[in-house]
Structure 1
Amino acid sequence: MDWTLEVVVLPVSDIDRAVAFYRDQVGFHLDHDTTNEWMHVVQLTPPGSGCSIVIGDLPSQNEMAPGSMRSLHLVVSDAAAARAELVGRGVECSEIMSFDERDGATFFGFADPDGNSWAVQQIRARAERPLIPVEARGRFGA
């Protein structure tokens, strides 16, 4: 039996500001934005990812303090290019750090407007071997 992590709830103080940050600055895909008299819930997915973030105002989402998520982890094939893309979109990023010459030991980070923080890890092998093959991305919404 497969057990897949597909959604992470991210606590934010302002849903619209978070959507603008993750969609317009970070480049996540807006999967849905649902509002009715009981809730406002939004799902966004990083390009190429099988896991999404969900932000909103449901009671279970309000149990966590905005900005309390630390070191959520993204993987890219080129840290320098990814960092340059984010900086070009106005995202404040840390400097790139390499802890070892082996693949997977290069990182930088950033935080959203509430302080939820992200680590971005370079794994060069993802350029040739993505976790979700390009031809399957349209079928799965990734």
Structure 2
Amino acid sequence: MDRKLEVVVLPVGDVDRAKTFYKGLGRREDADFAPSPDFRVIQMTPPGSPCSVIFGTGLTTAEPGSAQGLHLVVTELDAARAELAATGTAVSEVFHDAGGVFHHGGTEGRVAGPAPGRQSYGSFAALADPDGNGRLLQEITQRLPGR
């Protein structure tokens, strides 16, 4: 049986500010429901993604900004960075990990520039929403077998 990740909950401090930010990134607004003053759910989906993010009021006890390491996969990292920068979004320069396997948490082990030979899965750029929820753009040009 398939098990598909479809929703990731993001803890935010200011729901309307988060909604404005994600709309500015070109996310599709799927829902904005507020059945009561203490419960609101907003669902937004990145272009081409089967997985959405939700945020709002009364959804999680996690601290705003505590979601880290979410990956947005792109086939053209430089183009994706340029598109985000054009929206005014702060996005890091392209980097790869010193160990060459996967990036470390935080900024440890980052080496400026794309992975040697522009190896698929190896090049990243980082960004965060206004609350500090961190995500990475990851360039994947050729999937591993079975993926």
Q: Partner of 1:56: helix, strand, or coil? A: strand
Residue 11 of structure 1 is matched in structure 2 by 11
Letter in 1 for 2:5: L
Partner of 2:88: 90
- Other-structure match for 2:116: 100
What does residue 33 of structure 1 align with? 32
Q: After superposition, what is the alpha-carbon deviation per residue over 1:2-25, rounded to whole angstroms, capped at 9, x for unaligned?
A: 11110000000011100110111x
Structure in which a larger fraction of residues adopt strand: 2
Structure 2: where are the runs of 5+ without partners? 96-113
Paired residues for 1:1-142 under 5 Å: 1-24=1-24, 26-38=25-37, 39-58=39-58, 61-97=59-95, 98-101=114-117, 102-125=119-142
1:37 CA displacement: 2.0
1:40: Cα distance to partner?
1.2
How much has 1:124 moved relative to structure 2? 2.2
Please give the alpha-carbon distance, in whole angstroms, between the structure 1 residues aligned to 2:6 and 2:60: 20
Q: Which whole-Å CA distance do the structure 2 matches of 1:62 and 1:120 have between them? A: 25
Q: Deviations over 1:19-53 (max 9, x none)?
A: 110111x2111111112325211000111111110
Give the CA deviation at 1:125.
Answer: 3.9
Q: Residues 108-127 of structure 1, C-alpha deviation per residue, up to 9 Å, x if partnerless?
A: 0100000000110011248x
Which consecutive residues of structure 1, in runs of 5 or more, have no partner in the other structure?
A: 132-142
> CA offset at residue 57 of structure 1?
1.1
SS of the residue 2:60 aligns to: helix
- Structure 1: which amino acid aligns with 2:82? A
Distance (whole Å) between structure 2 residues aligned to residue 10 and residue 100 of structure 1: 33
CA RMSD of aligned residues (A): 1.5
**1:56-115 CA deviation, whole Å, 9 max, x = no partner?**
112xx2310000011111001101010001001000010011233222211101000000
* Length, aligned pairs only: 124
